[in-house]
């Protein structure tokens, strides 16, 4: 032990720790007579120094034995001078870190363990680290222990409670991506970490943000490996401690007073965090002024990290930083002007100042130094005209957000002139209404605003600058009044002025400032009175001799009556019922009546707006207004004037609105309804009838109103459906609707039918009898009975007579739609309906009904007769123009007959089929026999094509020999040559040849595939089995064991081998019909998904000299099916049958369509037509390649 002050050796201690171990750490506690040491054996000792009678002694006590775990790091808690009185210092806490856990013990007043913290598995080469520091948490200062091993730092907060007990709580962990070898506190918020590649990391503890990284490999740090390996004493340390010692540098790094000392092989390095001023100056030296200002502002706002050098209360700190920022701002302004490009485009200079000048403005306003901004800074930047303009434009966002209310008169004047020069009038107006302009020349600003149409700004200047709320209105009235009084339309600009005037009046009467803010409370009553007095003036200030009375009210009414009255209505809402307010309301109402009623230059809509406004005011419960009732009568006569057809809907709407807001109390109801009917105001009549619950009369109103006729159906439906109406009211509406049922049908047959089906279903037959107009009856029945019209047929209980009556009307008025309607109709009798269609000669409809009745032959004869008649027409001498149309007609008819025959041939016997098909063939062939006809050459080819179509479809139901025999037995062909039917016969023979070739080719292909499959199956089933191992997979013994016993050896196709006894013990063998069926135990147990692979075995008898296959069954078991599926998947290629089918289509197209087989062809069920037919083969067991 040395005295560092004098360099004197105080004592030599020889028995502090066991011999043969190296000292790793020795550290003093806050008590100078107490030190702790840690040796390479992992033990910790307490050294107590005493001086008795001038003799220095040292007593050593073992605190922790290395046999319980090797401690390699110790850290006593040290308190600064100002914290020596902290209650926790009396315990003299010591933290120890072994290779498996942390311990916190108290040395005083007696030895006690306060915490044990075991940590999980770590990298064995990582170094345990401990570091104490006092931190402020929740308004109290307590020690915090940082522990780290590897890449995770744990923070443990140590507190002492009132009872004297110490509690340790875990705080937020710090997760890193590098391995640590040193941890050092700089202050309570900042820590410095050193990783295993010798990089320093400065971390903010609370945010865990990495502030800076520094490479220190040039320090050539000294490591303590030799001590940890105890090389001086023979290296008698554990391997774990020696591995930790590879990265240990505990004694090479020390911290004191915010500085960290690093011991290198050739030098000592000191690291410290720069003070806030040094950090700012460092950025200034690098010419990073913007970054320096941003950093200084973060210091000012307390948002910076790792701050050093700022002390005192918050206001003093802010003042110091603000002074430094002002210095930087002056420097920044100078540099902005110096760095300006001297030559080049003006845009380059503007861009330079736009990048630089806003920074100055931002920080001056953030620091609330407008005195600096508008004096020295402005004077500096005004030296350059471009910089000055950019400076002034920078102020706009602050003005608009009300962050900058006041500025010097000079700057404000320059700002207005700059905007005027640049023609930025809208921006200037937006700025003016946010500024305090009392320091400006008011008249000059007003003139400027008026000349540039800045009406908002002008009003604001008058109001805020001179408390004058009347002059702006006078100026605006002078502009918009003359054209309105002359009956001219206003320009867009004057419309804008008028709208602003209305909003301004509304704001003044509501106590709001225009365009934003509020009028001072003491001025609100005065302003309201002034504005009212102004509006109700008898004449304007500079009135001419012919000026009409109340010019201001008149102008506003002409400009926008509704909006002006809305302004007054809002004002009346705000008025308190004092005497003056009541007088103002009555006075302005009297003026409104005088202006509008005594003049004929207002439209009905404008007059209606006035009386609607009055009716609303009069209907209020606390109403104090008085209006002469005769005025309402005059308005009623004016609006209901039958001589005036102009603005009919407008006048009706105005009167309706007037009644709805309560004006009805002002009229005599017995006089109102006749006048409304005379004026054809049906909505007014509806309103009045509804009040009196005369709902039936409202139907007349709808029917007589050309605009709303269609709505009568919904009205009737609602009355009859919605609850809330009495039975008598519903009955009267029902009777009225029945009375006008024909009129409703004329209006909309579909809607009327829907209404009748819903509410008048029991009156349908009576309605049908009473309808005289047959076409109207037809429309009604179609809407009622045709399901496509949307009416639910299930709810209608109609007799078949009604449906048949509808069908007859349909045959008369729309014969083309009869067939498709019959297909969807229900509830008609077949016999009667057939008579109707036959009466009207609708053959297709008759055929459909006969087929539906079951008389297929009769239906066929009707259609066949139709075809014959058309063919007969074709054989006559006809014009070419009608020939094509007739051929198309014949083809359509033929297609329908063929479809009829095809639909019914399945249910007929051979004789009945021939009775259908042969007459059809005869009908098509008979025109071709007329070889003497001169028209034959014109249509012989189309007829042959149609005949072939008949033959193609016949072939599916009639045997070809029968068809050929029938043709040859024909008397005509029997007497003559076969030349006439040569084409038909050759076509049939060609079809036969093609089908024969196709059948032979398909058979050959199937035989080839069958032979190939059988060859593969035979090769698989005769293949030997090769076991994967020579021992049983269950008992794991050689299969040759116990040769004296007749034990069977079971070999599976999967390669697994078993003793039969072992398989039986695992229940893997089942006896079926005297045969044992075996299952592979290993494959079966590994198949846990549900589908078990049953690999059935081959039997090897006796000692394995011969292999005998198990007898095969005629049926496929599950293992064989699986093997066969795998084989099919392995050798599956393109379907040959699919290829043949495609070829057959191609060839069939070339052969005149002779292969168009119908859907009912029984040949489709043939094995040759079915690609999915299966061969019943016995596959081999599954084999492994």
pLDDT digits (tens, 9 = 90+) for 572-586: 776 665 677 778 788
Dihedral sign (CA 1034, 1038, 1041, 1043): positive
Average pLDDT of the chain is 80
1100 band by pLDDT with thresholds 50, 70 and 90: very low
Per-residue pLDDT for 407 more than 50?
Answer: yes
Per-residue pLDDT for 1125 more than 70?
Answer: no
CB-based contact 434:456 (threshold 8 Å) = no
Cis preceding-peptide flag for 944 (omega within 30 of 0) = no
184 band by pLDDT with thresholds 50, 70 and 90: very high
Dihedral sign (CA 233, 239, 243, 248): negative
1098 band by pLDDT with thresholds 50, 70 and 90: very low
pLDDT digits (tens, 9 = 90+) for 1048-1077: 888 888 888 888 888 888 888 888 877 888
> What's the pLDDT score for residue 1175?
44
DSSP 8-state symbol, 1024: P
Dihedral sign (CA 660, 664, 670, 671): negative
pLDDT digits (tens, 9 = 90+) for 786-796: 878 777 776 67
| Cα–Cα dist 414/408, whole Å | 10
CB-based contact 577:621 (threshold 8 Å) = no
Q: What is the mean pLDDT of residues 589-598?
A: 81
> What's the pLDDT score for residue 1152?
40
Q: What is the mean pLDDT of residues 17-37?
A: 87
Name which residue leads in pLDDT, 619 or 299.
Answer: 299
The segment with the largest mean pLDDT, out of 227-231, 303-307, 544-548, is 303-307
666 band by pLDDT with thresholds 50, 70 and 90: low
Per-residue pLDDT for 1141 more than 60?
Answer: no
Q: What is the mean pLDDT of residues 973-1002?
A: 72
Query: pLDDT > 90: what percent of the chain?
Result: 10
> What's the pLDDT score for residue 1155?
33
| Cα–Cα dist 175/629, whole Å | 88
CB-based contact 166:156 (threshold 8 Å) = no
End-to-end alpha carbon distance in the chain: 83
Please name the helix (run of DSSP H) or strand (run of DSSP E) that holds residue 34, with its range, or none: strand 34-39
Place of tokens 């020596």: 84
> What's the pLDDT score for residue 94?
93
> What's the pLDDT score for residue 978?
56
Q: What is the mean pLDDT of residues 222-233?
A: 80
- Which pair of tokens denotes residue 677? 């009917």
> What's the pLDDT score for residue 924?
83
pLDDT digits (tens, 9 = 90+) for 274-314: 888 888 998 889 888 889 999 999 888 888 888 888 877 88
The segment with the largest mean pLDDT, out of 386-400, 875-889, 1045-1059, is 386-400
- Which pair of tokens denotes residue 12? 């030599």
Q: Lowest mean pLDDT of 106-115, 282-291, 488-497, 1138-1147, name the range.
A: 1138-1147
Per-residue pLDDT for 1122 more than 80?
Answer: no
Per-residue pLDDT for 560 more than 90?
Answer: no
Per-residue pLDDT for 132 more than 70?
Answer: yes
DSSP 8-state symbol, 1115: S
SS (H, E, C) 743-792: HHHHHCHHHHHHHHHHHCHHHHHHHHHHCCCHHHHHHHHHHHHCHHHCCC
Name which residue leads in pLDDT, 48 or 958.
Answer: 48
Q: Lowest mean pLDDT of 134-143, 707-716, 1038-1047, name the range.
A: 1038-1047
Per-residue pLDDT for 1180 more than 60?
Answer: no
> What's the pLDDT score for residue 1096?
37
| Number of neighbouring beta carbons within 10 Å of residue 652 | 23
Dihedral sign (CA 698, 700, 704, 709): positive
Q: Compute φ and ψ for 614, nearest 5 degrees.
A: -65, -40
Q: Is 729 left (phi over 0), alpha (psi -120 to 50) or beta?
A: alpha
Place of tokens 């220095």: 56
pLDDT digits (tens, 9 = 90+) for 137-182: 888 889 999 999 888 999 999 998 888 888 888 888 899 999 999 9
Residues 6+ apart with CB under 8 A from 1127: 1016, 1017, 1020, 1179
How much is the CA Rg of the chain, to the nearest whole Å?
Answer: 56
β-pair partners for 201: 193, 213
Per-residue pLDDT for 967 more than 50?
Answer: yes
> What's the pLDDT score for residue 1043?
54
pLDDT digits (tens, 9 = 90+) for 443-478: 878 888 888 888 888 888 888 888 888 888 888 888
| Cα–Cα dist 316/322, whole Å | 10
Q: Lowest mean pLDDT of 279-288, 919-928, 1127-1136, name the range.
A: 1127-1136
> What's the pLDDT score for residue 446?
84
Per-residue pLDDT for 722 more than 90?
Answer: no
Per-residue pLDDT for 1167 more than 50?
Answer: no
Q: Lowest mean pLDDT of 414-428, 654-668, 861-875, name the range.
A: 654-668
Per-residue pLDDT for 342 more than 80?
Answer: no
Query: Pairing between strand 93-98 and 101-106?
Result: antiparallel
Please name the helix (run of DSSP H) or strand (run of DSSP E) that holds residue 28, with its range, or none: strand 23-28
Q: What is the mean pLDDT of residues 1027-1054?
A: 76
Per-residue pLDDT for 1101 more than 70?
Answer: no
> What's the pLDDT score for residue 869?
87
Q: What is the mean pLDDT of residues 265-277?
A: 89
Query: pLDDT > 70: what percent of the chain?
Result: 84
Q: What is the mean pLDDT of residues 645-673?
A: 71
CA angle 238, 243, 245 (to 5 degrees): 95
Per-residue pLDDT for 419 more than 90?
Answer: no
Q: What is the mean pLDDT of residues 323-333?
A: 88
Per-residue pLDDT for 1142 more than 80?
Answer: no
The reported pTM is 0.51
């Amino acid at each position: 032990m040395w005295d560092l002050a004098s360099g004197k050796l105080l004592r030599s201690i020889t028995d502090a720790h066991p011999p043969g171990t190296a000292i790793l750490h020795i550290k003093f506690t806050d008590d100078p007579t107490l030190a702790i040491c840690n040796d390479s054996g992992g033990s910790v000792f307490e050294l107590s120094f005493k001086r008795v009678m001038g003799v220095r002694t040292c007593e050593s006590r073992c605190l922790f034995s290395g046999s319980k775990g090797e401690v390699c790091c110790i850290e006593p808690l040290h308190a600064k001078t100002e914290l020596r009185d902290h209650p926790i210092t009396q315990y003299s806490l010591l933290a120890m870190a072994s290779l498996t856990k942390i311990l916190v013990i108290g040395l005083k007043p007696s030895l006690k363990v306060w915490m044990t913290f075991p940590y999980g598995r770590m990298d064995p080469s990582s170094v345990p680290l401990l570091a104490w520091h006092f931190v402020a948490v929740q308004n109290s200062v307590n020690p915090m222990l940082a522990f780290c091993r590897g890449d995770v730092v744990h923070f443990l907060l140590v507190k002492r409670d009132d009872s004297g007990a110490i509690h340790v709580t875990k705080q937020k962990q710090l997760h890193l991506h590098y391995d640590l070898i040193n941890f050092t506190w700089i202050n309570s918020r900042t820590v410095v970490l050193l990783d295993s590649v010798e990089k320093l990391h400065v971390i903010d503890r609370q945010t865990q943000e990495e502030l800076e990284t520094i490479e220190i490999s040039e320090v050539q740090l000294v490591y303590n490996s030799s001590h940890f390996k105890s090389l001086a004493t023979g290296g008698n340390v554990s391997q774990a401690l020696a591995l930790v010692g590879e990265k240990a540098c505990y004694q090479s790094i020390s911290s004191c007073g915010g500085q960290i000392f690093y011991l290198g092989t050739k030098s000592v390095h000191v690291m410290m965090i720069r003070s806030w001023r040094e950090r700012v100056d460092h950025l200034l030296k690098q010419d990073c002024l913007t970054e320096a200002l941003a950093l200084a502002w973060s210091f000012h706002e307390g948002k910076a990290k790792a701050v050093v050098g700022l002390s005192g209360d918050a206001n003093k700190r802010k003042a110091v930083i603000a002074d430094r920022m002002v210095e930087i701002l002056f420097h920044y302004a100078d540099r902005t002007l110096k760095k300006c490009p001297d030559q080049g485009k003006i845009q380059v200079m503007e861009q330079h100042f736009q990048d630089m000048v806003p920074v100055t403005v931002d920080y001056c306003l953030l620091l609330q130094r407008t005195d600096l901004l508008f004096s020295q800074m402005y004077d500096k930047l005004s030296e350059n005209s471009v910089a000055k303009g950019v400076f002034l434009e920078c102020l706009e966002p602050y003005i608009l957000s009300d962050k900058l209310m006041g500025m010097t008169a000079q700057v404000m004047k320059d700002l207005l002139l700059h905007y005027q020069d640049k023609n930025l009038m809208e921006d200037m107006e937006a700025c003016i209404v946010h500024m305090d302009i009392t320091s400006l020349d008011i008249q000059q600003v007003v003139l400027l605003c008026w000349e540039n149409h800045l009406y908002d700004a002008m009003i604001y200047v008058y109001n805020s600058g001179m408390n004058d709320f009347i002059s702006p209105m006078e100026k605006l009235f002078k502009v918009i009044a003359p054209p309105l009084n002359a009956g001219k339309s206003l320009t867009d600009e004057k419309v804008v002025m008028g709208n602003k005037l209305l909003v301004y009046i509304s704001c003044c009467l509501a106590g709001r400032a225009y365009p934003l803010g509020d009028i001072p409370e003491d001025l609100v009553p005065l302003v309201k009175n002034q504005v009212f007095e102004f509006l109700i003036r008898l004449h304007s200030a500079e009135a001419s001799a012919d000026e009409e009375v109340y010019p201001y009210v008149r102008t506003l009414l002409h400009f926008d009556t509704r909006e002006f009255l809305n302004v007054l209505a809002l004002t009346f809402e705000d008025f308190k019922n004092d005497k003056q307010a009541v007088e103002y309301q009555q006075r302005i109402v009297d003026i409104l009546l005088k202006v509008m009623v005594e003049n004929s230059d207002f439209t009905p809509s404008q007059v209606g707006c006035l009386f609607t406004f009055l009716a609303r005011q009069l209907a209020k419960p606390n109403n104090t207004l008085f209006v002469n009732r005769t005025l309402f009568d005059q308005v009623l006569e004016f609006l209901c004037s039958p001589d005036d057809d102009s603005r009919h809907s407008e006048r009706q709407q105005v009167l309706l609105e007037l009644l709805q807001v309560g004006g009805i109390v002002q009229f005599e109801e017995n006089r109102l309804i006749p006048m409304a009917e005379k004026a054809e105001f049906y909505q007014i009549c509806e309103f009045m009838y509804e009040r009196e619950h005369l709902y039936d009369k409202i139907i007349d109103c709808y029917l007589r109103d050309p605009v709303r006729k269609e709505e009568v159906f919904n009205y009737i439906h609602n009355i009859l459906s919605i609850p809330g109406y009495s039975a008598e009211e519903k009955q009267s509406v029902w009777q009225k609707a029945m009375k006008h049922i024909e009129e409703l049908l004329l209006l909309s047959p579909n809607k009327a039918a829907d209404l009748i089906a819903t509410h008048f279903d029991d009156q349908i037959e009576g309605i049908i009898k009473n309808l005289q107009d047959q076409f109207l009856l037809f429309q009604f029945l179609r809407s009622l009975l045709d399901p496509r019209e949307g009416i639910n047929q299930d709810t209608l209980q109609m007799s078949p007579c009604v449906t048949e009556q509808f069908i007859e009307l349909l045959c008369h008025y729309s014969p083309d739609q009869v067939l498709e309607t019959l297909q969807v109709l229900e509830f008609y009798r077949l016999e009667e309906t057939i008579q109707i269609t036959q009466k009207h000669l609708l053959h297709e409809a008759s055929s459909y009904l006969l087929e539906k009745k079951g008389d297929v032959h009769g239906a066929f004869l009707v259609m066949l007769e139709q075809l014959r008649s058309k063919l007969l027409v074709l054989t006559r001498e006809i014009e070419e123009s009608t020939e094509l149309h007739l051929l198309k007609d014949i083809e359509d008819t033929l297609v329908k007959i063929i479809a009829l025959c095809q639909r019914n041939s399945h249910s007929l016997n051979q004789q009945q089929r021939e009775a259908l098909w042969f007459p059809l063939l005869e009908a098509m062939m008979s025109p071709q026999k007329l070889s003497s006809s001169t028209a034959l050459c014109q249509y012989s080819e189309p007829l042959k094509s149609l005949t072939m179509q008949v033959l193609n479809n016949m072939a599916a139901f009639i045997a070809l020999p029968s068809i050929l025999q029938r043709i040859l037995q024909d008397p005509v062909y029997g007497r003559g040559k076969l030349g006439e039917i040569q084409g038909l016969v050759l076509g049939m023979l060609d079809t036969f040849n093609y089908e024969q070739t196709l059948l032979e080719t398909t058979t050959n292909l199937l035989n080839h595939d069958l032979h190939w499959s059988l060859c593969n199956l035979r090769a698989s089933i005769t293949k030997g089995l090769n076991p994967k191992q020579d021992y049983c997979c269950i008992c794991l013994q050689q299969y040759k064991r116990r040769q004296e016993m007749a034990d069977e050896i079971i070999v599976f196709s999967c390669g697994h081998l078993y003793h039969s006894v072992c398989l039986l013990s695992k229940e893997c063998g089942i006896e079926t019909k005297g045969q044992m069926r075996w299952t592979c135990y290993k494959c079966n147990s590994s198949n846990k998904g549900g589908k078990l692979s049953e690999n059935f075995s081959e039997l090897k008898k006796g000692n394995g000299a011969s292999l005998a296959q198990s007898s095969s069954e005629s049926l496929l078991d599950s293992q064989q099916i699986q093997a066969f599926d795998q084989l099919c998947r392995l050798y599956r290629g393109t379907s040959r049958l699919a290829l043949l089918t495609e070829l057959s289509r191609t060839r069939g197209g070339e052969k005149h369509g002779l292969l168009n087989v119908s859907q009912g062809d029984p040949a489709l069920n043939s094995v040759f037509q079915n690609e999915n037919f299966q061969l019943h083969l016995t596959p081999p067991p599954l084999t492994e390649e």
